[in-house]
Amino acid sequence: MNQEKILLVIDQGTSRTKACLWNDRLELLSTGYCPVEREMPRDGYVEEDPEGIWRSVLASTEQALTEARVPANRIAAVGLANQGESVLAWRAEDQAPLYPAIIWQDLRTVAECQRLASDHNLARLIRERTGLFIHPYFSASKLGWLCRNVVAVRTALRKGTLRLGTLDAWLLARISGGKVFVTDHSTASRTMLFDITRLAWDHELCRIFSVPLEFLPKPVASAQLVGTTDPNRFLGIEAPIAALVCDQPAALLGHNCTSSGDTKCTLGTGAFVLMNIGNQPQLRVRGLLTSLGWSISEGSPSYYLEGGIFFAGALAQWFCNNVGLIENPEEIETISRQIGSTEGVYFVPALSGLAAPHWNPLVRGVILGLSSKSGKAHIARAAMEGVAFRLREIVDLMDQFHPITGLKVDGGVTANPLWMQIIADMLGRPIIVSRVREATALGVAKLAWTTLEGPQSEKKLQAHELDIHAVFQPRLSVEEREQRFRKWKKAVSMALNWQSAKEGDCE
């Protein structure tokens, strides 16, 4: 009797790594989790220990195998989702990291990006080729910084032993014993070095950002065989690597958003709204990014519009670790339920700048409207509303491209029903929460089975829409919702004005 095929999907995220086992009917068998610690050694610096990331991959995979009682030799294939813009430099011969991983939230290259963005012709060129705005969020300036500022990186470059790339390229090198050095089109499209129409690294952009192209990984389709895992390095698993894709578009596919106009939002460390726009990039949508979602070996790539928020669920962790407002992240809901409204308190969650549609990395968070009656419950609830208002900004822009009647959501924040209701109220649209939170891993699983089973299985990309756990309907009147949104936009204007004010303006 034939045993069912089992697929291992590794979802390496910012705050934790998840390993999921799926069968060929796209049923989730088990999930392993392992947290990943971020470090902030200086203002604006956000880093992670690469070896800690690697240990989290091994630990979560081992946990998933143990939970499902699946031996390593039963794994039919491996797929990988990654953080996207986070980068690393390492040695080719042993995959040893040469510097901590620089995470997508890192702002150390703000000054460089502002200087480049002041050249409007260059900004237009980058927008037309990559679909992105010049911003430290993306990989290009981080990779250039590594090449200019880290002695070990410069030494490896001179010796010809340097490897540069996003975290997926390094993890693939690790699990394959150094035999695989690739990234997929979706992840490459987040670097600001990749031409999303030609599907190739751009020589001119690599030169501008001081990134040696010859040390970057080969861009490949998201669904194709790229190599085999090394059992001596990867827990005894020897299986083909069948899919690799950036985490956000993987979740888009996991939500079955395969037609133009289909939209989802992943609410995790940050919040990212993605809309499928079909097989042609749209490069002039105001304030929004255009990136490549996924590509099949023999098919056309799928593109999407994106609007991101850098601090969403991370706000609860920030309240806990940095401010002491709450004792654990889950408590943000508990204390917010103590009051029915913020009573005029507004929070702009710009702790790492404002992304879409503002793209201002220097603006900082503000809390306005405090009174003698205000307490931590008002601030916590205002923070949740601030994320909802940021989503409103993005969804309103996407609505002009294709009407959004309801928003599918996934991610850890969806476990907070009050937050979901607040988002529904501020967007004026139903919020549809999936029963399975592993939308990213499901998207990777779909791509991997497409690789293994051939073109006839591409129907799996359109299959298996996530079950609905809950639908949150808006309760606020249109008048109240619009009044609150107008006041919050005033708070954003004040944050932007504060950032742009020069010393001495108020003296």
Residue 197 belongs to some domain of the structure:
yes
Q: Closest Cα partner for 336 from 381, 384, 389?
A: 381
Q: Which residues of 227-239 are buried (b: 16+ CB within 10 A; e: fewer)?
A: bbbbeebbbebeb
Note whether 206 and 69 are same-domain residues: yes
| Number of compact structural domains in the chain | 2
Note whether 47 and 166 are same-domain residues: yes
* CB of 351 closer than 8 Å to CB of 364: yes
Residue 350 belongs to some domain of the structure:
yes
pLDDT by residue (tens digit) across 325-367? 888 888 889 999 999 999 999 999 998 889 999 999 889 999 9
pLDDT greater than 80 at residue 487 = yes
Residue 1 belongs to some domain of the structure:
no
* CB of 196 closer than 8 Å to CB of 202: no
Provide the pLDDT for residue 412: 86
Q: What is the pTM of this model?
A: 0.91
Average pLDDT value over all residues in the chain: 92
Note whether 447 and 489 are same-domain residues: no
Note whether 132 and 12 are same-domain residues: yes
Residue 303 belongs to some domain of the structure:
no
* CB of 445 closer than 8 Å to CB of 250: no
pLDDT greater than 70 at residue 2 = no
Note whether 399 and 449 are same-domain residues: no
High-pLDDT (> 90) share of the chain, %? 79
pLDDT by residue (tens digit) across 18-46? 999 999 889 999 999 999 999 999 988 99
Cα 183 to Cα 166: distance, rounded to the nearest angstrom: 8
Residue 270 belongs to some domain of the structure:
no
Note whether 338 and 348 are same-domain residues: yes
Average pLDDT of the residues in 407-422: 93
CA dihedral 500, 504, 505, 507 (to 10 degrees): 150
Cα 256 to Cα 428: distance, rounded to the nearest angstrom: 23
Average pLDDT of the residues in 400-424: 92
Residue 259 belongs to some domain of the structure:
no
pLDDT by residue (tens digit) across 238-248? 999 999 999 99
Provide the pLDDT for residue 322: 84
Residue 15 belongs to some domain of the structure:
yes
pLDDT by residue (tens digit) across 297-320? 767 899 999 999 988 888 888 888
Average pLDDT of the residues in 452-478: 78
**Residue 410 φ/ψ, nearest 5 degrees:** -145, 180
What is the pLDDT confidence band of residue 438, given thresholds at 50, 70 and 90? confident
Expressed as residue numbers, the domain containing 39 is 6-254+435-466
**CATH number, domain containing residue 335:** 3.30.420.40
pLDDT by residue (tens digit) across 95-141? 999 999 999 999 999 999 999 999 999 999 999 999 999 999 999 99
Note whether 447 and 406 are same-domain residues: no
What is the pLDDT confidence band of residue 507, given thresholds at 50, 70 and 90? very low
